[in-house]
Amino acid sequence: MQKVALDLIRNAMEAMASCPRGEVAVDRFTVAHKDPGISADIADRLFQPFVTTKRHGMGVGLSICRTIIESHGGHIVAQAKPGGSAILQFTAPFVELSEGTA
C-alpha cells in the first residue's frame, strides 16, 4: 500500500517535471482497521506530540503528519468507532511538490 501511494505521487511529480510549478491533490486518503480501536485514554489527544500508548513509541508520528497536512492546507482526522475500530483520514488539496518531498 505504501508503494502504491508513493508511486502514484512520484508519477505525478515526474509527469510535471517540466512545469515551473507543480501541484498534486490527494483527495481523501483513508486508513481503517478493526480491533483494537483507539485507546479511550488518548482518543482526544492523538495528534498532540509525545502522546503514545506504545512501550517504545515517541508519540510524534501523528503530530508530524498533522503539521505536514495542515501546512499544505489539508485536514487530518481520526475517528474511533464503537466496538473497536479506527479510521484515520486526510485530504491534501493542491500540495506543492518538489523532488525529495515524497
Cβ–Cβ under 8 Å, residues 26 and 91: yes
Q: Which range, of 28-36, 60-68, 73-81, 83-91, touches Mg ion by CB under 5 A?
A: 60-68
Query: Contact letters (x/-) for ligand ATP, 33-62, by CB under 6 A?
Result: -----xx--x---x----xxxx--xxxxxx
Starting from the edge strand earliest in sequence, which strands make up the sheet with 85-96, in order?
A: 23-33, 85-96, 75-81
CB of 96 within 8 A of CB of 23?
Answer: yes
| Cβ 22 to ligand ATP shortest distance, Å | 29
> Is residue 5 helix, strand or coil?
helix
Nearer to ligand ATP, 15 or 43 (CB): 43
Chain contacts with ligand ATP (rule: CB under 6 A): 38-39, 42, 46, 51-54, 57-63, 86, 88
